[in-house]
Structure 1
Amino acid sequence: MTVVTDTSTDGHRVPPEPDLTEQEIVARAARIAATLVDRQQETEQRGYYGLDTHKELLAGGFYRILVPRRYGGYEFGIDTHMRVVSALARGCPSTAWMYTFGASHAHLAASLFGEKAQNELFAAGDFICPGVIAPAGLAEQAEGGWLVDGVFRYSSGSPYATHFIGQTFLAGAEGEPPTQMMFVVPRDQWRRLDDWGAQLGLKGSGSHSIKIEKAYIPDHYALVGTHMGLTSVTNGTPGLALHGNRLYGGSVLAVLNFQVGALAVGMATGALDAYSELMRERMTTYPPIVARAENPDYQLYYGEADGRIAAARAAMSDVLRQWGETAENGSITRDVELRMSLISREVVRLCWSAVSDILFPTAGSSAVRAGERLERIWRDMSTLHTHAGVSIYLSTVATRELANLLFDVHADPGAVD
């Protein structure tokens, strides 16, 4: 990948399209999404989106949305990234999943790592970095850094990645439990395993495992005691000091969780698109035989589903507004981070109920055969619920922590009733 060298008058690198707007990149995502609908089968069979799609995303600036401007990125807002994710998911959930969990960690890296690391990580401008929350392996201390071994599963975005962000364990003192360390490693120090595609859904999301063997991680690429999924930024961030933009001083935790809400909105909207076609093209089964669009029952089904998806979209839009406001005024606190994250969980629930309770069961058996658009979306949304962030963290850990904070209860966060 070519390193960005063009600079502006302030010494910072210039992105490929200096005048690109947030509105235009969202519109580009919608145009790309329209071409992905008919390619979902091949994406599933391959296990990840095609090289031509990758090149289109690359040329369109999508991997630079959250990269700081000083490195040739666009430094667009979190809301813009999430709108792009929803637009892509409307056309192909697998593509959107693979894209966001590769591109979004530019925000995490630009927020949490220091200047020396960022100068190196963002040297090429484009940044594609899958990340996993579950720790693996045990790091060994080495001169000026660490040696890391491990297999890291569900590394969504790995096929075209430039880096990887992971979690590993550090041995504790005698009698003490191990601590965790977050680290980043360049692409040439790990390999992708051929172990993705047998899942129920999201078969084309590029969520392969990656294997790291004795990779050397310099100290400035490692954050001891940091957990990606639980990290709070209430005391400030290196990225805010470096870039002077509150984008890199807002909640990292909430942004990680916003992705599942943005994906769900896009998937459910795609399901509604498919159902709309059935409304126009299919007739009712029982008399009076009319087009479904003319039948009061199908009108009710459609309207109810549309309303739930619209409510989810509105909630997603508002929580992104909340994130922007708290980042801008520096009012982020742990309870605010958690509550915003839980709104994303409710977005997922609304979208899932629209698809699983209304659209899928009333579409008709021929519309949910293997390979049909609605069938694929149902599988993809079912698989979304197996993500640990959705099924475990947001459903249990985050909700309890929020209550503990509000009631000043110092309970063991790992306790289960």
Structure 2
Amino acid sequence: MADTRVPLPDGALGLAPVAAKHAADADQQRRLHPDVVQGVVAAGFARHFVPERWGGEAGGFADLLAAVATVGEGCTSAAWVAALTATVPRMAAHLPIAGQQEIWADGPDPMLVGALMPLGRAERAPGGWRLTGTWSFVSAVEFADWALVCARTPGEDGEPVARYFAVRRGEFRVQDTWFTVGMRGTGSNTLTVDDVFVPDRRVCTRAAVLDGECPGSVDGCTRVPLKAVNGLSFAAPVLGATRALLSGWADWVAPKIAGTGGGDPALADNATRHQVLARSAAEIDAAQLLLERTARVADERPVSALHAVRGGRDCAVAAELLLAAADRLFRAAGTSGQVEGSPFARAWRDVNVAVGHLVLRFDPAASAYAQRVLAER
């Protein structure tokens, strides 16, 4: 049978209008429409970083950035879910081979979600661990086949060790807790596990994922340290949303601007609008260039320690640039942009909520970058 798969950026082109069609409803319903979730999988996001041995693409970060931003132009929440649908399997590829085989036994497209902060606890049991915990803000958990959750475990030297545990649907419960100002369509509800046995084959250390330690892997994408690329998954949806906000604002303002010939009384107002357009477009372009460099470095491999922390820095700066552009465009749209149901308002809310994510905060990224630069002096 001929291979009908298309490159991820091409798949995203088909998904974007579907996501846009359901964006307003997703905002109201606090979850994506099932057609959008199915479209995320059909576009190739779930298999993008899955190892080739399991039928996946072992794909690249530049393709992921381009694809997620494209979807983000239609719906920020759909782009967020698409990004994480691609990213979490890359982390799961650090599990022992037997655990990977269990997850991808039926193909490379199960939907994995992540609860990646060590908020649970696990105790040793014969052949595995007894896991208990509650994790908030797990995007698209309602649709998940598997969840990768993080818990603290006893260490040999008395210090706790953070580990990732893969739990299948039916081993966790979902609580409807996602009530937010923006990014409402992500359905980032609460996941709970209550004394579930997880075999060793479905467990790996958090440190291995953070550092890209994946012994025996032949797929280079799994060896990229998480710290080098983590920000891409969260900044890419914002890039798409802000590009759409700029395009919508330009369409809105174009009929309002009269010619600027000599003596035109509208000259001053037009000049202000020209500056809004030009500066916002420049900030978006600058953010995109930073994100593209981060993705390109990850794809070229290996990623040096300095480039890893630079990636985190650049994603945080890109988020700040995108937020500045979104805020300026929203203010410049005036009252009409603030009307309930306005796409300006929804995009502005989404961008402001998304850039508040811990991974996109500049202070920790700046400290990590500065410490590495100064240590190499």
Q: Which residue among 323, 326, 330 is the counterpart of 2:298?
A: 323
Verify: 1:251 aligned to 2:225, yes or no.
yes
Residue 372 of structure 2 corresponds to 405
Partner of 1:120: 102
Report the secondary structure of 1:54's partner residue: helix
Mean CA deviation greater in 373-382 or 120-129:
120-129
Equivalent position of 2:355 in the other structure: 385
1:232 aligns with 2:199: no
What are the equivalent positions in structure 2 for 1:284-323 lying under 5 Å apart? 295-323=270-298
| Equivalent residue number for residue 187 of structure 1 | 169
Give the TM-score normalised by structure 2.
Answer: 0.90
The aligned residue for residue 353 of structure 1 is 324
8 A Cα contact 2:245 2:329, kept in partner? yes
Higher RCO, 1 or 2 (CA under 8 Å, sep at least 6)? Answer: 2
* Structure 1 counterpart of 2:113: 130
The superposition leaves residues 48-101 of structure 1 with CA deviations (integer Å, 9 ceiling, x where unpaired) of 211112223333333212222221222321211221111111110011112222
- Identify unmatched segments of 5+ residues in structure 2: none
TM-score with structure 1 setting the length: 0.82
In structure 2, the CA distance between the partners of 1:259 and 1:291, relative to structure 1 (3 Å rule), is: farther
Is the 8 Å Cα contact of residues 102 and 156 (structure 1) preserved in structure 2? no
CA apart distance, 1:173? 7.0
The verdict on how the C-alpha distance between 1:29 and 1:291 changes in structure 2, with shifts beyond 3 A counting, is: farther
Counterpart Cα distance in 1 of 2:239 and 2:73: 8
Report the Cα distance in structure 1 between the residues aligned to 2:63 and 2:224, rounded to whole angstroms.
15
Aligned length: 371
Alpha-carbon distance between aligned partners in 1 of 2:33 and 2:265, rounded to the nearest angstrom: 43
2:137 aligns with 154
For residues 353 and 284 of structure 2, the distance between their equivalents in structure 1, rounded to whole angstroms, comes to: 19
2:193 aligns to what SS in structure 1?
Answer: strand
- Alignment of 1:104 onto 2:87: yes
Q: Report if aligned partners of 1:182, 1:227 keep a CA contact under 8 Å in 2.
A: no
Q: Give the direction of change, closer, same or farther, for the CA distance of 1:17–1:26 in structure 2 (3 Å limit).
A: farther
- Change beyond 3 A, Cα 1:298–1:146: same
Distance 1:227 1:152, change over 3 A: farther
Q: Distance in 1 between matches of 2:32 and 2:206?
A: 35
Gaps of 5+ in 1: 1-15, 410-417
**2:238–2:355: 8 Å Cα contact kept in structure 1?**
no
Correspondence 1:74-85 to 2 at 5 A? 74-85=57-68
* SS at 2:52 equivalent: coil
- Any idea what the Cα deviations from partners look like across 1:222-257, whole Å, max 9, x if unmatched? 1246375xx113xx423xx23x23222222222222
Return the structure number with greater strand share: 2
The Cα of 1:19 is off from its aligned counterpart by: 5.0
Question: What displacement does 1:26 show?
Answer: 1.3
- Of 265, 268, 280, 2:239 maps to 265
Give the partner amino acid of 1:406.
V
* Map of 1:7 onto structure 2: none
Q: 2:339 aligns with which of 365, 369, 386?
A: 369
Give the conservation status (yes or no) of the 8 Å contact 2:166–2:198. yes
> What percent of counterpart residues are identical?
22
Equivalent position SS for 2:245? helix
Matching residue of 1:217:
198
Residue 211 of structure 2 aligns with an amino acid whose one-letter code is: S
